[in-house]
Each structure stands twice: as C-alpha cells, then as structure tokens.
Amino acid sequence: MDLSRAAAEALDAADPLAGFRSRFAGADEDGPGRLLYLDGNSLGRMPRATPAAVTRVVEQEWARGLVGSWSQWIGAATRLGDELGAGVLGAGPGQVLVGDSTTVNLYKLMVAGAAARPGRDVLVCTADDFPTDRYVVAGVAESRGMTVREIDAHVDEGLDLAELAAALDERVAVVVLSLVAYRSGALADVAEVTRLVHESGALLLWDLSHAVGAVQVELDATGADLAVGCTYKYLNGGPGAPAFLYVRRDLQDELRSPIQGWFGQRDQFAMGPVYAPADGIERFGVGTPPVIGMAAVEVGAGIVAEAGIGALAAKGRAMSDLVVALGDEWLVPAGMTLASPRQAVRRGSHVTFAHPQAWQLTQALVDRGVVPDFRTPDRVRLGPAPLYTRFVDVWDAMDRFRALLADHSYEAYPAERARVT
C-alpha cells in the first residue's frame, strides 16, 4: 500500500463522494492549519442546508402557521421513519419510527420484547457494550425480576460467537447487541448472530448507533427483529437529535410499548379514558414528536441516502484501512497498539489505538488541530466520516499524530480527565 501523501491525494481525486464535502459546514476548509475532524462517529458535521430547514419550521410552520401546521407535523415520525428505512436501513415502509432518545427507544423495545416471551427470564448483552445499553438491560431485569447474562466480549476484537452461543438457551427472552462496537469499531457477524439468537427462540435487539450511515444495514433482508439507533453521528442530525426504532412488521401486533403515551393511542384525538395501542409501528410512539429536531434529521439522512450507503461503506473501509496502515508505520513503533480488528470487513468506520497516556495524547491532538475521541481505559478513537472526510485529511491527521509522539509534548498534559460539570 502506497502511504505517501500523493497517494492519498490520488484517492481523493478518484473519490465518487468528493462532491458531498462542500455541503457540510467547515468541511471544505483547506491549508496546513485547518481543523482535521476525526470524530464524526460521535457528532457529525452540520449540513449547510440544515439552518434553512430548521428556520422554515420555526419561522413559517410555527410562527405563521401556528396550530394549523399540525396537519403536516402529525405524521412526521412515521414519514421520516419510512425515509430512513428506504434510504439508510434497508427496511420497508411502516417499520421505522423517529422520536425519543436511543435510550428511551431501547427501553421500550426491550420491555416489549421481554413481555412477548413469557416464561423466559434472562436478558443477554455484552460486558463491553455501550453503557446506556447495559444500564437499561440491568434496570429492565431488576424491575421484571429477570437475570442478566453479560457475555465477555473482547474489547478490541468484539463479540465471540462461541461465547454468544454458550449464553443462549430456552430462558433467554431478548438479546441486546451493538452492530458496531463503540470502542473498537468491531463489526458483528449479522447473519450468524441472527441465526444463533433465533434458534434459541429469543428476540434480537440491535443498537445501530455506531453503524447507521457508515456500514450497510439491511434490516429486512437479514431478518432483524428489533433495532434502535441515533441520528447525530453519521446521519448528521445535530446534538440531541431524535433517535429511531425499528420493529419488524409481523412482530408489531405482538409487542406492546410499556410507555402508553397519547401518540401511541389508536384514536388519540378521541381523548378517551382507556389506552388502546394503535395499529402498526405508531403504537411505539409516546409524546408529541420533536418537530424541529426532525427537520435537521431529514436533511442529514437525506444526504446519506443520496450518497448511497454502499458507496459510503466502501469509502469508510478504505479510510480505516489507511488509518491502520499509517498507524502500523508511524504510531505502533512509537508505543501505540492497534485496538480494532485488523481486517476491514470486521470493522465499522472507526479505528482505535491504545496507549497508556491516551487521555494526554487526545488533548494534545486537539491542541494540534486534530479532533479524535478518548475512550476508557486507554484508547484514542479515530472516526473519519466518509461523507465529508478526505483521504488527505486522514493522512495529515496521522502525520500530526506521529509528530506528537516523536516530540513527547503530550506528556506535559494532565494525566487525569477533568470532571465536566
């Protein structure tokens, strides 16, 4: 693999997604001192069209239309859900709903799934999954008198299928797994995981937060049961943007949301005294949809759909391969360790390196104009987003990284994270 900067420039010249870069604020800055943003898997850049979309909702639909705009807002959660399903998630209409946070959606589907498997008293997750997933699993288990089985997952290599198989039996109700591991970027084997879980009779609930918009997700084709995910990472919906949930069509009448809000009521405007769940995916609605936030999500998700998830996934693999190769050449000899799967087919779109002084390195990188992310216990996570990151951006960021390791200036930074209040 040619690791020269000229080779990275050549990859950019041939990049079919190159035109999308100019559609994101700050992404088309150039020059040696530019910001190199490698944290798109934590918070995506803002699309330039987002302010106008939000302004339209605020100044026209709200300020002028007032309550008369409810006719176009009332179905926003399902309309945008269908757009996400068709353009990003590989899901047919009527199976995706937008609204609430990832954590709330995870709770709703986990409780609904557990209730749909009476007589089963075990929930399964991995010991290294994203904290909110493990916290929700523990809370649901405690409230329902169930037991949690945490699978030991390798912090760098991800889920071991043998460990999963050993944890599955007739007592398991719901298995909660991330498609892409938040620390290492390890990508789960969808087909084999689905087969194992379904053979046990349990329901499988995917967390797609670090996958959607970066890897190909085919919910219908893979026989997925349930899924949740956020929209502010690779979908560029903005901080706190509403999340989504997916329920396979043939499961919808079987499951019932534990949060009986009026947007999940069959005839919500009858204002009746008794809750009766709506038909289809709308039964998983809760309260009034976050209309302003949805306007931002629609812009970001629309760009992802326009670019095509196949092209985005291919570029993501190529960029992560470049990160790994440059890391082997420049970072590993200076004390870093690759903390992600080496093979691109086993990774999402981010790569992680371990170092005893990872926190100091992360802060020093930020001061040098490179924005990565720190993950405990000792990881620097690099997440180039294929929509707006260039190969030469990756090269320059890694070049600054090696210079930092060479001069040891990171050692002057505080060794412990400051508590954010």
CA angle centred on 355, ends 349 and 356, rounded to 5°? 145
> How far is 214 from 262, CA to CA, in rounded Å?
34
Give which of 37, 92, 96, 9 is closest to 385, Cα–Cα: 37
Question: Cβ distance 335 to 365 under 8 Å?
Answer: no
Catalytic residues: 130, 207, 232-233, 381
* Residue where the block lists tokens 């390195």: 361
Burial-class residue 348 by CB neighbours within 10 Å (0-12, 13-18, 19+): buried
CA distances from 297 to 23, 237, 241, 301, 323 (A): 15, 4, 7, 6, 29
What tokens appear for 377 in the block?
Answer: 């216990």
Cα separation of the two ends of the chain: 45
Distance of CA 186 to the CA centre of its chain: 13
CA distances from 225 to 96, 160, 175, 245, 247 (A): 12, 21, 10, 11, 6
DSSP string, 192-208: HHHHHHHHHT-EEEEE-
Q: Which amino acid is it at 200?
A: S
Distance of CA 290 to the CA centre of its chain: 19
Neighbours of 26 (CB within 10 A): 12
